[in-house]
């Protein structure tokens, strides 16, 4: 176990004054025009956002969301002079075995991404699964996200991976599984690349950060997949281009206006998640507003976007490296882009052991369908339990 001075218990509570100021700003929003019939064709649907903002101001119960988040075992620690917030949830008492598991979030989120799935992984027996599949779960906020401090110098995938490798050692987890989505998928990739002696196996839900290949060396299914990405690159990737180049420009307005912040984030939460038959996102409005409120209260939208810029500046050779530890994927059908073919996945690792393609789920699967995601994690890591090390 880590010594007492390494971790400090953490249960933040927003001040009433901050919440009152948030409501004041929401009610004072100046709205843009929205031509009839435009809907979400040009970005966020302003009419829908106005309804959500009204609910955020006068219906959403942040105190209830805050209490739910604070029911998790949350801590703060310091690495390289950076204050890091994390969830460190031990397996339920009486579990016959447990495996350390690092969960790495992405953008536009934080530890929020995994907040619903933690109890399913630490105490599977209480949720109808095998108690032998219990995990010791670690969910840190990346620097500049959520309740972690921003780093003095913005970190890229490799920089965050180095922090997380040391964090797991500090927590007493010398050999562990690592799983991630969105930016977190690349973070755990670099944990495995740079610290393979610590990583038992890696589970990812994305596989798009790769070097540009000569089409002549690719299989036809890979070329077809890359061609299929072109409409997404044209119509959906402007946010990434901005965040990779001039994030501070957008950060000024997004840090000042909670409605603007909601527009920037909710448009992604909605379009990147799976949907019900009636067209509504599997992420309910309370879940979305919990995520957005974390960003608002912590003032981290600018620092979170700057990670894109840091990663964009990584050498191209870094993206051509190959993972040598066992690797698996769960690729959800309603994710941001069409799931990659197996031939592409094999280019990322010398030991591709599992590819799962559920019939539902999107980019935020741990929040959209926690039980499905927990089952995918349990199934993938089960063969590797004997090689992990619980602190």
- Cβ atoms of 138 and 122 within 8 Å: the answer is no
Is the pLDDT assigned to residue 211 strictly greater than 80? no
CATH fold of the domain at 15-27+40-387 = Rossmann fold (3.40.50)
**Nearest-angstrom CA–CA distance, 166 and 174:** 9
**Nearest-angstrom CA–CA distance, 117 and 113:** 9
| Percent with pLDDT over 70 in the chain | 97
**Nearest-angstrom CA–CA distance, 21 and 19:** 5
| Percent with pLDDT over 90 in the chain | 84
**Nearest-angstrom CA–CA distance, 246 and 276:** 35
pLDDT at 3: 45
- Residue 284 phi/psi, 5-degree rounding, is -70, 165
pLDDT digits (tens, 9 = 90+) for 155-203: 999 999 999 999 999 999 999 999 999 999 999 999 999 999 999 999 9
> How distant, in Å, are the alpha carbons of 153, 227, 306 from that of 246?
16, 28, 8
Task: Compare 96 and 51 and report the one with higher pLDDT.
Answer: 51
- Cβ atoms of 357 and 150 within 8 Å: the answer is no
Q: What HEC string does 204-262 produce?
A: ECCCCCCCCCCHHHCCHHHHHHHHHHHHHHHHHCHHHHHHHHCHHHHHHHHHHCHHHHH
Read off the pLDDT of each residue in 311-328 and give the average, rounded to a whole number: 94
Is the pLDDT assigned to residue 390 strictly greater than 90? no
- Cβ atoms of 205 and 103 within 8 Å: the answer is no
- Going by C-alpha positions, the residue among 46, 136, 69 that lies closest to residue 100 is 136
**Nearest-angstrom CA–CA distance, 375 and 55:** 33
Would you say how long the chain is, in residues?
391
pLDDT digits (tens, 9 = 90+) for 102-152: 999 999 999 999 999 999 999 999 999 999 999 999 999 999 999 999 999
DSSP state of 113: G
pLDDT at 246: 97
pLDDT at 1: 43
Read off the pLDDT of each residue in 96-100 and give the average, rounded to a whole number: 90
5 — pLDDT class (breaks 50, 70, 90): low
- Element at 92 (helix H, strand E): none
- Sequence-separated (6 or more) residues with CB below 8 Å from residue 339: 331, 332, 333, 357
- Residue 146 phi/psi, 5-degree rounding, is 55, -130
- Cβ atoms of 363 and 351 within 8 Å: the answer is no
Is the pLDDT assigned to residue 347 strictly greater than 50? yes
């Amino acid at each position: 176990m880590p010594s007492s001075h390494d971790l400090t218990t953490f249960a933040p509570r927003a001040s009433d004054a901050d919440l009152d100021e948030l409501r004041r700003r929401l009610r004072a929003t100046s709205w843009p025009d929205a031509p009839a019939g435009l809907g979400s064709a040009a970005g966020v649907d302003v009419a829908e956002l106005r309804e959500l903002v009204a609910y955020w101001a006068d219906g959403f119960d942040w105190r209830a969301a805050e209490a739910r988040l604070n029911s998790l075992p949350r801590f703060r620690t310091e690495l390289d002079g950076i204050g890091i917030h994390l969830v460190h949830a031990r397996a339920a008492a009486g579990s016959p075995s447990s495996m350390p598991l690092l969960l790495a979030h992405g953008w536009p989120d934080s530890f929020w991404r995994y907040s619903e799935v933690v109890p399913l992984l630490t105490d599977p027996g209480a949720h109808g699964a095998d108690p032998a599949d219990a995990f010791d779960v670690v969910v840190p906020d990346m620097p500049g996200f959520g309740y972690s401090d921003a780093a003095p110098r913005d970190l890229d995938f490799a920089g965050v991976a180095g922090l997380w490798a040391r964090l797991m050692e500090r927590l007493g987890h010398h050999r562990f599984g690592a799983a991630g989505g969105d930016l977190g998928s690349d973070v755990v990739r670099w944990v495995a690349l740079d610290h393979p002696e610590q990583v038992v196996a890696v589970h990812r839900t994305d596989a798009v950060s790769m070097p540009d290949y000569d089409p002549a060396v690719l299989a036809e299914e890979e070329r077809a997949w890359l061609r299929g990405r072109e409409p997404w690159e044209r119509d959906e990737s402007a946010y990434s281009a901005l965040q990779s180049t001039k994030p501070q420009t957008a950060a000024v307005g997004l840090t000042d206006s909670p409605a603007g912040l909601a527009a920037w984030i909710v448009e992604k939460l909605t379009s990147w998640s799976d949907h019900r038959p009636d067209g509504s996102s599997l992420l309910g409005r309370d879940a979305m507003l919990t995520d957005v409120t974390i960003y608002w209260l912590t003032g981290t939208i600018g620092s979170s976007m700057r990670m894109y810029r840091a990663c964009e500046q990584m050498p191209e050779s870094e993206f051509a490296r190959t993972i040598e530890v066992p690797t698996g994927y769960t690729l959800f059908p309603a994710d941001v882009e069409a799931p990659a073919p197996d031939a592409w996945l094999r280019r990322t690792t010398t030991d591709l052991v599992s590819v799962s393609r559920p019939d539902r789920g999107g980019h935020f699967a741990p929040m959209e369908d926690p039980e499905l995601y927990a089952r995918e994690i349990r199934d993938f890591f089960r063969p590797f339990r004997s090689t992990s090390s619980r602190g």
